[in-house]
Amino acid sequence: MAVIQFKRGLLANLPGLQVGEPGFTTDSYDLYVGLTSETATNKIVGSGRFWTNNTASTGSGVNLVEGTSNGTSFITLKAPDSLAGIVTYTMPGSDGSNGQVLTTNGSGTLSFTTLSSSLSLAGDSGTDTLTVGSDTLTFTGGEGIDAAVTDNTVTISGEDATSSNKGIASFDATDFTVTSGAVTLNAERIEDIVGTAITTGTQTLITVSYDDANAQYDFVVDNDLSNYSNTNSAFITAASTSTLTNKTFDANGTGNSLSNVEVDNFAAAAIVTAAEGIGSNNNDTTLPTSAAVKSYADSAISAIDLTVSTAGDSGSGSVSTSQTLTVSGTANEIETSASGQAITIGLPDSVTISQNLTVSGNLYVNGSTTQVNTTTTTIEDQLLDLGMVDGSVPSSDLNKDIGILLNYYSGSAKKAAVFWDDSVNRIAVASDVSESSGVLTASAYADFEIGSLYVNDCAGASQVISCSGGVRKLENITVDGGSF
């Protein structure tokens, strides 16, 4: 969006505008256009004194301003805040008589008319005509209704209902709830009645109580097994010294468990306590102790002689537990050293690689110059981080320019550059630069050719130059005519 801001100022300071030049007065809200360069010939084309602007929720209006007013006192003819379409009113061609009012024919044509002095009345039964200023309008209540008039106020109220008269009835809040005219029997009342009936009944080995706060009945079954008959129930009771024969214990069942069972409670033949017993009892009918398992494992491991096969890019071999594994390097390529339990493999100080080199991790080069002599350099990185100091961002102003130098020949060797000019804190594009100690000096700045232009400044990010249909456009630009 482009903005054209007119020349503006106080009405008393309005100068002679050039032909077609606009000017806006900030105190009287007038818009002028110049016809010649003389102030007297400025043409007013609109004024905020003569209308009220509409908003998103209010309609506009036309102001009728008094002769001496500068727009502070006026009468407004205003449109409604909401219209379904276009409404046209046609005024009468001449004035009406004293006391007449304007009426419409329903199609927008207005005319003067005299108001009627009578009022027609109609009810559920019967009709009548009331003469304004002489007749009295009477309100009479029917069955269940009272009508009263006090101080120009008519009050119509309902009578209390009885068994023989219709009217307003009330309900006991303990038993009923009334909402928007709907009557509902309270659930609490029903729960209390049912709860009393249940809790006062007879229960055997079960207790019933009514939880009034949560509107629920709680049933509790007697959990003392001694109160149940072993003959008539599914429970088994036994003393601590009782012996159960041919019984099955389901330890995985809910609530079932075995406790206080020790090794000496098992038959001697079922437990193996020595390593020798593990080797001689290859069966599924005995259990070994942890000491027996450890002793057997220690004995078996000490007797193992491990042989490991080895293989390289060429050749293969093997090494056993009793032998020594030697790791050898290649001169000028790999160095190895051993100390204690550690073998160190690394590169020598000077490395020569005669074939391709692929680095899968990061590559760090610490020196004064990195020179790449290739025909084509392909870089996959999306960002090039320039101006770093030993791998970190600068901690102080280095007073150096940062950018890209482009070497070319035009009568002599020249350098073009796109760089951050540290002296003026902005990006520069130059067609001819010279460099000294990291500082560029531009002899000539380069032309800049683009398809469109975006600017991100105090107004935010937006496009300012675009092109469509062969027409170049300014967008989101304010053309400021200044002030007067």
Q: What total number of domains does the chain contain?
A: 2
Residue 273 lies in a domain: yes
Number of residues in the chain: 484
Residue 235 lies in a domain: no
Which among 440, 420, 437, 436 is positioned nearest to 428, based on CA atoms? 420
Query: How many CB atoms within 10 Å of residue 323?
Result: 10
Question: What pTM was estimated for this model as a whole?
Answer: 0.38
Residue 276 lies in a domain: yes
For 419, the domain range is 399-449
Residue 433 lies in a domain: yes
Neighbouring C-alpha atoms within 13 Å toward the C-beta of 298: 9
Residue 70 lies in a domain: no
3-state SS, residue 49 = helix
Residue 325 lies in a domain: no
Structure tokens at 290: 């942890």
Residue 423 lies in a domain: yes
In angstroms, rounded to a whole number, what is the distance separating the alpha carbons of residues 258 and 247?
A: 13
In angstroms, rounded to a whole number, what is the distance separating the alpha carbons of residues 58 and 80?
A: 7
Position with higher pLDDT, 235 vs 270: 270
Which among 242, 238, 241, 258 is positioned nearest to 250, based on CA atoms? 258
Partners of 201 in the β-ladder:
none
Residue 289 lies in a domain: yes
What pLDDT, on a 0 to 100 scale, did the predictor assign at position 463?
93
By percentage, how much of the chain surpasses pLDDT 90?
A: 25
Residues 442 and 432: beta-carbon distance below 8 Å: yes
In angstroms, rounded to a whole number, what is the distance separating the alpha carbons of residues 484 and 371?
A: 63
Task: Give 123-164 pLDDT, tens digit per residue.
Answer: 778 888 888 767 888 888 777 788 888 888 888 888 888 877
- Amino acid in position 122: A
Residues 326 and 343: beta-carbon distance below 8 Å: no
Contacts of 397 (CB under 8 A, 6+ apart): 422
Q: Please state which of the ranges 76-90, 237-251, 291-305 shows the lowest mean pLDDT.
A: 237-251
Q: What is the mean pLDDT of the chain?
A: 83
In angstroms, rounded to a whole number, what is the distance separating the alpha carbons of residues 65 and 72?
A: 8
Looking at 245, 278, 298, the residue that finishes a domain is: 298
